[in-house]
Amino acid sequence: MHLGLHVDGGGEGFDGAVDYARRLGASSLQIFSSNPKTYRIGPIDVPALERFRARRAEAGIATCAIHTSYLINLASDDPKIANGSLRLLRNDLAVAAAGGIDFVNTHLGSYGKRPREEGFAAVTALLERALEGIAPGVFLVLENSAGAGQLCGGTLEELGDFVRALGHPQLGVCLDTAHSWAAGYDIDSREGVDRFVALADATVSLERVKMFHFNDTQIPLGGHKDRHWHIGEGNIGFAGFRALAAHTELLDKTAILETPGDEADDARNMQSIRLIFEGVRT
């Protein structure tokens, strides 16, 4: 797999993100295109994005993803929020096109008080509009949620329904391990992971699974809370990630760590996941 991590620009921008990923031996990278907590959209800095692309290539970063703003809620029944979300999503797709970025990974949002059927149709319609303008080479990637309350995308079946409803070749899925565990998928063992991968193939199809977010979690199975923890130090544990590493049909995928802490923690987590994939940790 292309193993990498989410890098919070921290003011150093795209160049800093590449340096950080390279220091930690990552071959993949995820960033925010701008402040993830505002609806404000700035102009697209094309020269900076072209530099970013060249620096990634130099640093051996094979794949790159943008994580969209946390404000995005495509399932909202408030047209202001729904349209603002579509604008943010389209902007990130345009940034990805300008920077040669492979994936735009997004949360779908919450249905709120809406009947799920009505919400599902509304999300599908917005995704269709986002996909209308997508540039070649960019994938729009829907991330599974922890499935709390009325959150959209908490089951593989529901993600599969989006894939079939849209049928667009540039639509993909990202499976976050912490969210999957919190949604009730017992991916802490070989058997559990085998079941999970088989279900992912039957629902969204492995071809559509473009990315994983590799995060451990201390939340109980099915606890529906979105809390990330260090690789191997939570309930998924080394056994769960080893079982994922054993699935050779996933080797061409990208896996991004979104684990907490500072650079020392990031270095430890990158080291752990690399050792798991190298089969050193038994």
Site residues for Zn ion per CB under 5 A: 143, 176, 213, 258
Question: Minimum CB separation from Zn ion for residue 58, in Å?
Answer: 27
Return the number of the residue (53 or 179) whose C-beta is nearest Zn ion. Answer: 179
> Residue 69: phi, psi to the nearest 5?
-60, 145
Q: Are 56 and 19 spatial neighbours (Cβ–Cβ below 8 Å)?
A: no
The torsion region of residue 137 among left (phi > 0), alpha (psi -120 to 50) and beta comes to left
Q: Are 107 and 68 spatial neighbours (Cβ–Cβ below 8 Å)?
A: yes
Question: Minimum CB separation from Zn ion for residue 177, in Å?
Answer: 9
Q: In whole angstroms, what is the distance from residue 50 CA to residue 247 CA? A: 35
Task: Quote the radius of gyration of the chain (alpha carbons, Å).
Answer: 18
Question: Minimum CB separation from Zn ion for residue 213, in Å?
Answer: 3
Beta bridge partner(s), residue 172: 141
Return the number of the residue (53 or 74) whose C-beta is nearest Zn ion. Answer: 74
Question: Minimum CB separation from Zn ion for residue 173, in Å?
Answer: 12
Q: What does the block give as tokens for 68?
A: 């969209």
Nearest to 271 by CA among 2, 53, 3: 3
Return the number of the residue (72 or 166) whose C-beta is nearest Zn ion. Answer: 72
Question: Minimum CB separation from Zn ion for residue 115, in Å?
Answer: 25
Which strand (E) or helix (H) includes residue 31? strand 28-31
Q: In whole angstroms, what is the distance from residue 236 CA to residue 239 CA? A: 7
Return the number of the residue (210 or 213) whose C-beta is nearest Zn ion. Answer: 213
Return the number of the residue (53 or 228) whose C-beta is nearest Zn ion. Answer: 228
Return the number of the residue (143 or 188) whose C-beta is nearest Zn ion. Answer: 143
Question: Minimum CB separation from Zn ion for residue 130, in Å?
Answer: 17
Residue 216 DSSP symbol = B
First to last CA, the chain: 19
